[in-house]
Structure 1
Amino acid sequence: MILDPVHVAGAGMIRFGKHPAETTLETMGAQAATAAMRDAGVRAADVEALYVGHVFGGPVAGQRIGARIGLAGKPVSNHENYCSSGATALREAWIAVGAGLYDLVLVVGVEKMTDRVKGGVQPDPNDLDASIGFLFAAGHALSARRYMADYGATREQIAAVAVKNHAHSVANPYAQYQKPVSLGEVLGARPIAEPLGLLDCSPISDGAAAVVVASRAGLRRLGIRSAPRVAACALVSGTVQAGLGDVNEEDISRRAGAEAYRIAGVAADEIDVVEMHDCFTIAEIVRLEGLGVLPRGEGARLTEAGYTSLGGALPVNPSGGLLSRGHPVGATGAAQVCELFWQLTGRAGGRQVEGATTGLAYCKGGSVSGTDGASVTTVILTT
């Protein structure tokens, strides 16, 4: 696959959290889109297409947002890939711009969950796992138990993911939670699915994030001399599993990482910063290992030792991640790319990873009974 260079020219977000009922999905999407356009210096008339990722937004949510920001009549497409929806929308924009179809497009990830989701997010009711009550929290609790048994990891080491990510989010004005939590608070939180408690789980959130995607000609039109390049945007889906298998094998993460490294022409050890889909504390650990950026079985120990903290060898989730920045599912992939854009342009403030030139964002969306997942996107940005 040979594509022309594709860049992120601007980024915009609103603060994630629990927004009042009168703050609609369309309002949030329009606010994030307007912020990204302002950041890039692009007018609505210059935007050639709109790509929108959402899960619970209803029919033609992208067109409803586009009409509010002056994009009525432009090509608009809507993308649902569960938690990977925002990054899947980016991938389609990356392909279109790289193929020379457009020079300037807008990507929006958006979700209003608090008035649509009660309790935990569940698989489709027709899914076999859902029918027997094997929900996401239960699956990740099983993962944690297995990981502790296989590698001698402790409950405290797994909880350290939440402590780290909440500490990072203190410096993120867009995060749902902006205060640290102690190890004792994580361990003493209300049980959800043993051994995981409330602070091991990402919250139900509302929010929106957006980026302007540009070709080299598009950058010239905007008067931008340089901008982070989308070096890769990979998408894989789960393969059918036979037998019991290993719950922490993470073959889907390995394949997604390998595809992104191949497209970008980089190795796992060249990544400077990671935005990881930490829907649960254990998920950050096993998925980092699946990507090959941490040795298998060592992720929990390295987290506790500060390896993945700001100032460590490989900072992970300087934004606070899903655990603390929040997880409005359709918006998460776009928010991760916003964070990488700010990191690679030196605009991340108190959470800046010094010297970062290559960043990776990972999203895993949903589950399908009998497979090792539904969708995984891996995005690599470089300077």
Structure 2
Amino acid sequence: MRTLHIAGAGMVRFGKFPASVTFEQLACGAARAAMQDAGASRKDIEAVFVGHVFGGPVAGQRVAVELGLGGLPVSNHENYCASGATALREAWLAVAAGLYEVALVIGAEKMTDRIKGGVAPDPSDLDAMQGFIMTAGHALSARRYMADHGATREQIAMVAVKNHEHSQHNPYAHYQNPVSLEQVLAARPVADPLGVLDCSPISDGAAAAVVCSREGLRRLGIVEAKPVVRGIGLVSGSLRTGLHDLNEEDISRRAGEQAYALTGVDPEDIDLVEMHDCFTIAEIVRLEGLGLIPRGEGARWTQDGHTRVGGRLPVNASGGLLSRGHPVGATGMAQVCELYWQLSGRAGGRQVRDARLGLAYCKGGTVSGTDGGSVTTVVVSA
């Protein structure tokens, strides 16, 4: 397969925007920033791949027209929280197949005028019919993890403390202020034991990248080395019968194994991780599911500072979903932008020293009776 390079990346700051700020404006803002970073003009772009959930069936086409890219091949990718990374995966495969030399990938979402309160599965899903919301599922996960591994409420809360500490140095983050352990523990309860600071916010935002083959780099006049997308795993939830450990994260294990097989890397080779921490406990159990942290030790790793910038395995240097924000269609591409900046040495005060290999993980959606909807694992190297 041909190599996929990230020639440039761009984001708009995540946050809560008024209704007058549209999905298209957010997406175009990130896309223009990525094109400027790559030195790419409109005539250089050969195809557009757009990940989103609530943008509508031809959201990508609307964005392309506003960018002056109307008439190009445009595809829309909806895979819930994994949508942005799924769009990147399709661009990777298209460039690898020789269809294009230069492509634009965008992840975008306008959520704050569409989503209120807890996010639930699709209304037709059996879990949704029983009143299930995502927070409740992760609260059960936290309780089970604490019972099985002796983890404390304080250890789980430290994920939020760490990620908010990191986001102080991320100009694109929704929140850019530190929080204390006492603030996390005293925050308004949502689903015991999780409080509001254990939950990622409803956000608006967009992130984008210009990706290309080696020939594409030459066309853009780029001579310096650029980060390479080594491979992207994609798995969906499998049907589960009988009794299962709530935190077994088999879908994460399978996604990790697929990524490691595609790229030829070992979990021990990973220098930093952008993890889908929609809730504090999710960061812990998914790191363990990927084989990056020994089973049952994630909470202690967090408490001991191993997952901070400067630790053994820095996780969510960007602030993660908890602090950078979680506009669902944009999240996967925001993670990839962060890996690009980290591996290019351009991450400022949150820079991970000597980072050479990064992994981004997204898990999106639920399907009743399975271990999840979809998971993407993106491996990027310097």
Shift of 1:133: 1.1
Alignment of 1:163-312 (within 5 A): 163-225=161-223, 226-312=225-311
| 1:45–1:70 contact (8 Å) kept in structure 2 | no
SS of match in other structure, 2:71: coil
- TM-score when normalising by structure 2: 0.99
SS of match in other structure, 1:48: coil
Distance in 2, matches of 1:366 and 1:188, equals 29
SS of match in other structure, 1:148: helix
Alignment of 1:313-328 (within 5 A): 313-328=312-327
Instruction: Tell me what 1:69 maps to.
Output: 67
Which amino acid in the other structure matches residue 265 of structure 1? G
Shift of 1:244: 2.1
Instruction: Tell me what 2:28 maps to.
Output: 30
Shift of 1:252: 0.3
Q: Deviations over 1:312-362 (max 9, x none)?
A: 010000000000000000000000000000000000000000100000000
Distance in 1, matches of 2:141 and 2:65, equals 44
SS of match in other structure, 1:223: coil
Q: Deviations over 1:280-339 (max 9, x none)?
A: 000000000000010000000010100000110100000000000000000000000000
Give the superposed CA RMSD. 0.5
Which amino acid in the other structure matches residue 345 of structure 2? G
* Aligned partner (choices 9, 12, 22) of residue 10 of structure 2: 12
Distance in 2, matches of 1:122 and 1:174, equals 27
Instruction: Tell me what 2:372 maps to.
Output: 373
Instruction: Tell me what 2:125 maps to.
Output: 127
| 1:55–1:81 contact (8 Å) kept in structure 2 | yes
Instruction: Tell me what 2:115 maps to.
Output: 117
Shift of 1:146: 0.2
Which amino acid in the other structure matches residue 368 of structure 1? V
Q: Deviations over 1:153-173 (max 9, x none)?
A: 000000000000000000000
Shift of 1:134: 1.7
- TM-score when normalising by structure 1: 0.99
Distance in 2, matches of 1:53 and 1:244, equals 35
Shift of 1:222: 1.2
Shift of 1:122: 1.4
Distance in 1, matches of 2:178 and 2:153, equals 19
The percentage of aligned residue pairs carrying the same residue is 71
Distance in 2, matches of 1:118 and 1:140, equals 19
Distance in 1, matches of 2:211 and 2:262, equals 18
4+ long deviations beyond 6 Å? none
Q: Deviations over 1:94-143 (max 9, x none)?
A: 00001111000000000000001111221100100111012110100000
Q: Does 1:350 find its partner at 2:345?
A: no
| 1:19–1:206 contact (8 Å) kept in structure 2 | yes
Distance in 2, matches of 1:243 and 1:167, equals 41
Shift of 1:63: 0.4
SS of match in other structure, 1:111: strand
SS of match in other structure, 1:141: helix
Shift of 1:59: 2.1
Shift of 1:48: 0.2
Which amino acid in the other structure matches residue 144 of structure 1? A
Which amino acid in the other structure matches residue 262 of structure 2? I
Distance in 2, matches of 1:7 and 1:144, equals 38
Counting matched residue pairs gives 381
Which amino acid in the other structure matches residue 370 of structure 1? G
| 2:44–2:220 contact (8 Å) kept in structure 1 | no
* Aligned partner (choices 129, 142, 145) of residue 143 of structure 2: 145
Deviates more, 1:123-132 or 1:219-228: 219-228
Distance in 1, matches of 2:108 and 2:379, equals 21
Distance in 1, matches of 2:258 and 2:270, equals 15
